[in-house]
Amino acid sequence: MPMQPQERIAQLKKERNAVILAHNYQLPEVQDVADFVGDSLGLAMQASKTEADVIVFCGVDFMAQSAKVLNPDKTVLHPDVNARCPMAAMCDPSGIRMLKKDFPRAEVVTYVNTSAECKAESDICCTSSNAVKVVNSLESDLIIFTPDENLANYVQRSTDKDVLPWPGYCPTHDAISLEKIQKLKDKYPDAAVVVHPECRPEVIDNADAVRSTEGMLNFVRESPKTEFIIGTEKEMLHRLHKEFPDRQFYAVPGAVCPTMKLITLNNIITSLELMGPEITLSPEIMAKARAPLERMMAVGRGD
């Protein structure tokens, strides 16, 4: 009988002394073979303390890059190089340098959904779970926030500082419209609405809670409700169902990140067999990007 993909992955992990990290938006079968499933902050923290020789990062490009920045001496594999974040591609380091020149007293907060080169131009990184906490931890009252305009607008509501947003967005979250949310509310009137802070302002205004993906888990855990409309990428429901089998969760139609779906069991196997594609970055970029990532992790979670 041929070996099942899950069995082959377990075998290769042992041979390579590898750990598999998977984002909450990965395919269910990928989440199920991972050693750790989480959001960007949780994955960064896991990457920073792993004792494995090899990190297989099941997510999009910036996540694998962050794992390499935090582990310059380890081998970091990204099973499909085409799994790129569209929002991260909307930001460039030259643009950040121009803004820093125009606003010299501003501090630069760069969302973790960016390239290592953009992080290298920043004072500190953040994730959706701690963006407000990060901004409020800084001394300057003027913040350049890249690259998510929706997240920047959400942060602006919770700080007295002036936030200058970069005009980027997550296509998956930006497509979650108020109309889609309202149709689900009409269908499931007893359900609580929990949305991601990358959503549009009008969606956030009509939600019961705004949380990162890990924050959504905490919200469900503490809520007396039994039904939830989940305003983020649909694969988040796989983890929610696993952790809360007695609750009902409803996905927003069309909330799909296609690049997250490029990672499969087969290309995880190929990646471990061939030890590639491997993430490589210059020592200079890694050194510059490491400090803002470490500052982000030191701030910790916000939700």
CB 107 within 8 A of CB 136: no
DSSP secondary structure string for all residues of 218-260: HHHHH-S-SEEEEES-TTHHHHHHHH-TTSEEEEPTT---GGG
The pair of three-digit structure tokens given for residue 250, joined into one six-digit string: 């409803």
Helices (H) and strands (E) in the chain, counts: 15, 12
Q: How far is the C-alpha of 170 from the C-alpha of 67, rounded, in Å?
A: 21
Higher pLDDT, 1 or 247: 247
For 251-263, the pLDDT digits (tens) are 999 999 999 999 9
Residue 241 pLDDT = 98
Q: Is the pLDDT of residue 267 over 90?
A: yes
| CB under 8 A, 24+ apart: contacts of 179-188 | 180/252, 180/253, 180/254, 181/206, 181/207, 181/229, 181/231, 181/252, 182/206, 184/229, 184/250, 184/252, 185/229, 187/250, 188/227, 188/229, 188/248, 188/250
* Preceding amide of 165 cis, omega within 30: no
For 16-67, the pLDDT digits (tens) are 999 999 999 999 999 999 999 998 778 878 888 888 999 999 999 999 999 9
Euclidean distance between the first and the last CA atom of the chain, given in angstroms as a whole number:
47
Q: How far is the C-alpha of 237 from the C-alpha of 220, rounded, in Å?
A: 12
Q: Is the pLDDT of residue 303 over 80?
A: no
Higher pLDDT, 42 or 115: 115
Q: Is the pLDDT of residue 68 over 90?
A: yes
At the second CATH level, the architecture of 5-85+260-283 is 3-Layer(aba) Sandwich (3.40)
The length of the chain is 303
**Residues 151-177, mean pLDDT to the nearest whole number:** 97
For 275-291, the pLDDT digits (tens) are 999 999 999 999 999 99
Q: How far is the C-alpha of 56 from the C-alpha of 37, rounded, in Å?
A: 12
For 192-247, the pLDDT digits (tens) are 999 999 999 999 999 999 999 999 999 999 999 999 999 999 999 999 999 999 99
Domain residue limits, the chain: 5-85+260-283, 88-170+287-299, 172-257
DSSP secondary structure string for all residues of 140-194: -SEEEEESBHHHHHHHHTT-SSEEEE-SB--HHHHT--HHHHHHHHHH-TTPEEE
For 123-159, the pLDDT digits (tens) are 999 999 999 999 999 999 999 999 999 999 999 999 9
Residue 242 pLDDT = 97
Beta pairing partners, 168: 148
DSSP secondary structure string for all residues of 271-294: HHHHT-SBP---HHHHHHHHHHHH
Q: CA 179 → CA 23, 117, 127, 184, distances in Å?
A: 28, 37, 27, 9
Residue 1 pLDDT = 72
* Preceding amide of 147 cis, omega within 30: yes
Q: CA 4 → CA 12, 29, 31, 32, 155, distances in Å?
A: 12, 12, 16, 14, 46
- By C-alpha distance, which of 238, 228, 233 is closest to 253? 233
Q: How far is the C-alpha of 102 from the C-alpha of 118, rounded, in Å?
A: 17
CATH class of 172-257: alpha beta
Kindly calculate the radius of gyration of the chain based on its CA atoms and give it in whole angstroms. 19
88-170+287-299 CATH: 3.40.50.10800
Dihedral angle over CA of 20, 31, 146, 176, nearest 10: 170
One fold for 5-85+260-283 and 88-170+287-299: yes
